[in-house]
Amino acid sequence: MGFEVSDELLGTFVPILIYWVYSGVYALLGSLENYRLHSKKDEDEKNLVSKGTVVKGVLLQQTLQAVVAILLFTITGSDDGNAAGSKPSLIVLARQFVTAMLVLDTWQYFMHRYMHHNKFLYKHIHSQHHRLVVPYAFGALYNHPLEGLLLDTIGGALSFLLSGMSPRASIFFFSFATIKTVDDHCGLWLPGNLFHLLFRNNTAYHDVHHQLYGSKYNFSQPFFVMWDRILGTYMPYSLDKRAGGGFEARPLKENKDD
């Protein structure tokens, strides 16, 4: 009778919509110099790629992700007619979310770190993301298409499959992961930001990684810092006031080979 959209389609396209809405909010707040980790002038001068190119790159990655997501949902679609009507308990949902977060973090840490240490992969693939020396929100998913497939798309698929979550639960998980990823790249340290209060892996933490002195540290993304701590790639930092206004994340130890 009415028009219905499947959970699979929502799980595919809602995170994409949220990406642009949430990053759009940060774009509007970008003029708040007193809360920026880098000045607007540095954003315009230090980045090695135009914003138009970044938008095109992100749209390409999101298109590829959508295709893979639809294929994944199609292949794993349940034949159980009761599956759609069953509602897992909050405990089950919490377990699935935590499992998915750990799986995604583990996959991305090791793939991300390997892309830095393999000179060929860094030069031809991962260096594209690091053209954004001064990160900003809608550049969060600006990657080489192959990196987007390996880190984000396959990592997301593994999180979905190994956690056992339903397509409906995935709508919320991938929307949350998208918001977190955008926030980590937003370049703003706003008062009251819950991600900064709840996660050590946050905007300043990831900003350290985007700087030359931090390129061999802080590989963890997007949720926890456990792998950096366990494997010796954790770089602590202090958040200090910049002379011209805003903040600056400064390392608390000298850069060294690991």
Helical packing angle, 167-184 and 203-210, nearest 10°? 60
In a domain, 65, yes or no: yes
d(CA 95, CA 118): 34
d(CA 3, CA 195): 36
**Total count of domains within the chain:** 1
> Under 8 Å CB-to-CB from 33, ≥6 apart: which residues?
39, 40, 244, 245, 246
In a domain, 257, yes or no: no
Residues in the chain: 258
Q: What is the DSSP string of 88-142?
A: --HHHHHHHHHHHHHHHHHHHHHHHHHHHHSHHHHHHTGGGGGG-SS--GGGTT-
Q: What is the pLDDT along the chain (258 residues), one digit of tens a residue?
A: 456 889 999 999 999 999 999 999 999 999 999 999 999 999 999 999 999 999 999 999 999 999 999 999 999 875 444 444 578 899 999 999 999 999 999 999 999 999 999 999 999 999 999 999 999 999 999 999 999 999 999 999 999 999 999 999 999 999 999 999 999 999 999 999 999 999 999 999 999 999 989 999 999 999 999 999 999 999 999 999 998 899 999 998 654 444
In a domain, 136, yes or no: yes
d(CA 258, CA 256): 6
Burial category of 191 from C-beta neighbours within 10 Å (exposed 0-12, middle 13-18, buried 19 and up): exposed
In a domain, 38, yes or no: yes
In a domain, 21, yes or no: yes
> 178 is in which domain, residue-wise?
7-76+100-251
pLDDT at 46: 96
pLDDT at 253: 65
In a domain, 2, yes or no: no
8 Å CB contact between 214 and 255: yes
In a domain, 130, yes or no: yes
